[in-house]
Structure 1
Amino acid sequence: MKKRLIMAVSLLSMVAVVGAGCNSKATDGKADATKAPSDNKAAATSTPDAGKKGGKVTLRFATWDSSDLLSIQQTIAKNFEALHPDIKVQVEAYSDGFDQKLAASIGANDAPDVMYMWDFPTYYKNLEPLDELIKTDESLKVDDFYPGLFNYVKIEGKTYGMPAGFTTRVMYYNKKLFDAANVPYPKEGWTWDEFKETAKKLTNPSKKQFGFGVRAENDPYDLQGFVWSNGGSFVSPDGKTIEGFMNGKETIDVIQMFGDLVKEKTATIAGGKNQQSGDDIFKANRMAMWESGIWPLNGFKEAKIDVGTVVMPAFPGKPLKGVVSESAVSMYKNSKHKKEAWEFIKYYASSDAIKLRKSDLPVRKSVVAELKYDQDPQYQPFFKMIEKSDNTPAFLLQPKWNEINRGLTSAIDAVMQGQNAKSSFDTAVKDSMKFLK
């Protein structure tokens, strides 16, 4: 998420140079006017027969996946083609250059018909709203999706993407270290006070063992769940105000709590310059607890770590909240094949396609039940957290969030390095006010 947020900043900086190179159907100032890269050989053209080959409609589908994950996308495309013999799906692997290539293709009015999406604030003016299609297409079975996922694909009340995969964040714990210290495993319903006491008991300086790990470079996006759980937020519900929210007591107390864990040496800094990542420290049996999404679970298993997962701690008297990292598929608003694009989007959100994708969690409740993830102790907490994830993240509420986010990121990292949270966040708010004018 952080890498793509940084990319979004550079995309937004292109606004001033777009208009002159685009035709009347261009991007409303959201992308570079440069032509798409030359490796995009089968791109649709502006001729009447655009996207048709041998009587078939050719749909272009852009993904950021590569390697084994790209193979899964290609399999999904082939399976779709078998069900729709009049449609050919051309998978375009943009990989790490996803944002740059997508921006360039939109700027040239030559974007893929369907694309992976997460950064809706940057691209939504170039995407087709899906609300009416979702509402009228009973075959989609929208009630089978986790409702909170739709909070992450909306801008100004309109839906611009179909949820494809997600992860919530849970607390991983190393059972071996807990057993050695004779400390009970954490359970659902635990509090942050209990978490801190547990972390202290599992800290052993002589073994360079820590109870927890705090990232050297933090993405504010990932910390929102903790802030929401304490009753705070980085922005007001309407997205217009940061004063009293970003530097509000509820927000500051959460960030200061993590900074204090490092200061007290109950937590180690992970992932900084010349430092191991949190995943690697956890694998080395030198960290008892580590919070993350679904991504490291298989790696922990392969490293033969006796790993458990549990929902996040709660603040006393306050409802537990979570944040979601989500991928979606969207339709280009200028696609000449919207009917076919919708059929592919629906298939991508079908049970058959979802079960092929292994890098994140299923968006359909029926698939979760079929795979028995809801009965697996290691997977259960992820799905319990999605039930508590009904907030909307700041970047979807505030149009200038990319600019504001830079100062917020610096303030958070300063706190992790020992600075006072209140003064750091007051400075971040003061410096960010110019973006709200």
Structure 2
Amino acid sequence: MRRKKWWLSVLVAAVVLVMSACSSSSSGDGKQDGKTVLRFATWDTGDTLKIQQDIAKEFEKENKGVKVQVEAYGDGFDQKLAASFGAKNPPDVMYMWDFSTYYQSLEPLDAYVKKDADLKMDDFYDGLFNYSKVNGQLYGMPAGFSTMVVYYNKKLFDKYNIPYPKEGWTWDDFKAIAKKLTDKSKKQYGFGVTAEPDTYDLQGLVWSNGGSFISNDGKKVNGVMNSPETVEDIQMYGDMVKDGMAVLVGGKNQQSGSDIFKSGKLGMYVSGIWPIQGFKDAGVDFGTVEMPAFGSKPVKGLISSSSISIAKDSKQKDLAWKFVKFFSSDKAIKMRTADLPVRKSVVEETKVMDDPLYKPFYTMLEKASDTPAFLLNKNWSEINRNLPAAINAVMLGQKAQPLFDKAVKDSEKYVSQ
């Protein structure tokens, strides 16, 4: 989640984008070699960029006279996109995640969807649309997603004769297992806790205990961010580190959790879909399972999603929508092998759910009905400014309640601006 905005860099990026846009087209009317140019911006690199380029080529085959110009912004995606919006020269179509920041520069898609009954909106998982709507309007079609699950090392579980975790397990079960898997003499731990976590990634944990970082209407943090339920979740992680059954990962001078998991020294690790191929390549014998529950409370899923959107300033919105529709088709979804399929029909056809490694991601997707904090208040980046430091301090052994009370006090002034 990259929300940093350095205006000098944005200005430079804007100039570069304007110049590159002019040089990429042989005329000023959106034509290149006699073809209509449709600009598509992505954050992908490497193999995943190749997938987007292949999709663009397939669209061109079905739409003679169109050239899809894939613009790979990479790590500078947000910065370059902001610059292009500011220069009134955005790509026609782009990957999108931060709708609260950019929605005013995006074309609402509700009218397009309404005209296209063959799009079969009910074939998409409903929870995905919670992440691409602002004020009830749709600004992006789902492209890819991940939920958070628990990865567990089967070899370690077998060594200590611990049954593999199953759907319906609890945090009490989790802690008991983590304790059994810990052997400090071998630098082996039951669980890896991120030392400096992205607060976004903790929301599913917090929701599952009945807490939140901000009220559902986005207007309140006091009594929510510092509620007993919210504080209890974070304190639980800190206590696991303090009690020695968990190790801090991913902070300064610390190995990443995925690297420790690969080395066989970590029993359990919470993450999305991203490390799964790396674990396979490393030869780790592992499984995945849905997140534990707090007693009888329902487990809540958190989605990390990507969508595809249309710029409000695009001069060829109908063609842009045609590309978005193609990108949302079964054909294009099957081509995006780096993403989990977002259509139910594709999931059924490809039998993704039959693979026990991937099924928990969809189980958690079906439990994802809450809206993340950054979509509930336009000032979330300011509200959230003090929360990561408070969480980090808890992971280092301090008590959560006073830290969260202070975070609320420091954040309240931003809530209603």
TM range (shorter): over 0.9
Segments of 5+ residues of structure 1 without an aligned counterpart are 18-30
Tell me what 2:247 maps to: 268
CA contact (8 A) 1:203 1:209 kept: yes
Q: How does 1:75-94 map to 2 (within 5 A)?
A: 75-94=54-73
Tell me what 1:126 maps to: 105
Correspondent of 2:91 among 93, 107, 112: 112
Tell me what 1:152 maps to: 131
- 1-structure distance, mates of 2:192, 2:353: 28
Tell me what 1:70 maps to: 49
Tell me how far 1:324 sits from its aligned partner. 0.4
Tell me how far 1:435 sits from its aligned partner. 1.1
Q: How does 1:274-285 map to 2 (within 5 A)?
A: 274-285=253-264
Code of the residue aligned with 1:342 in structure 2: it is W
Q: How does 1:161-310 map to 2 (within 5 A)?
A: 161-310=140-289
Tell me how far 1:371 sits from its aligned partner. 1.6
Tell me how far 1:378 sits from its aligned partner. 0.5
Deviations 1:12-62 (A, max 9, x none): x75xx9xxxxxxxxxxxxx76963415962459999963123443210000
Q: Secondary structure at the match of 1:88?
A: strand
- 1-structure distance, mates of 2:246, 2:22: 50
- 2-structure distance, mates of 1:80, 1:44: 23
Q: Secondary structure at the match of 1:211?
A: strand
Tell me how far 1:86 sits from its aligned partner. 2.4
In structure 2, relative to structure 1, the CA distance for the partners of 1:306 and 1:227 (3 Å cut) is same
Deviations 1:250-277 (A, max 9, x none): 1000000000000001000001222110
Segments of 5+ residues of structure 2 without an aligned counterpart are none
In structure 2, relative to structure 1, the CA distance for the partners of 1:47 and 1:431 (3 Å cut) is farther
Q: Secondary structure at the match of 1:41?
A: helix
CA contact (8 A) 1:128 1:330 kept: yes
Tell me what 1:141 maps to: 120
Tell me how far 1:323 sits from its aligned partner. 0.5
Q: Secondary structure at the match of 1:288?
A: strand
1:372 aligns with 2:339: no
1:342 aligns with 2:321: yes
Tell me how far 1:155 sits from its aligned partner. 0.8
- 2-structure distance, mates of 1:38, 1:382: 37
Q: Secondary structure at the match of 1:299?
A: helix
Correspondent of 2:389 among 410, 421, 433: 410
Correspondent of 2:298 among 310, 319, 333: 319
CA contact (8 A) 1:32 1:103 kept: no
CA contact (8 A) 1:33 1:107 kept: no
- 2-structure distance, mates of 1:46, 1:308: 49
Q: TM-score, normalised by structure 2?
A: 0.96
Tell me how far 1:206 sits from its aligned partner. 1.8
- Taking only the aligned residue pairs, the percentage that are identical comes to 60
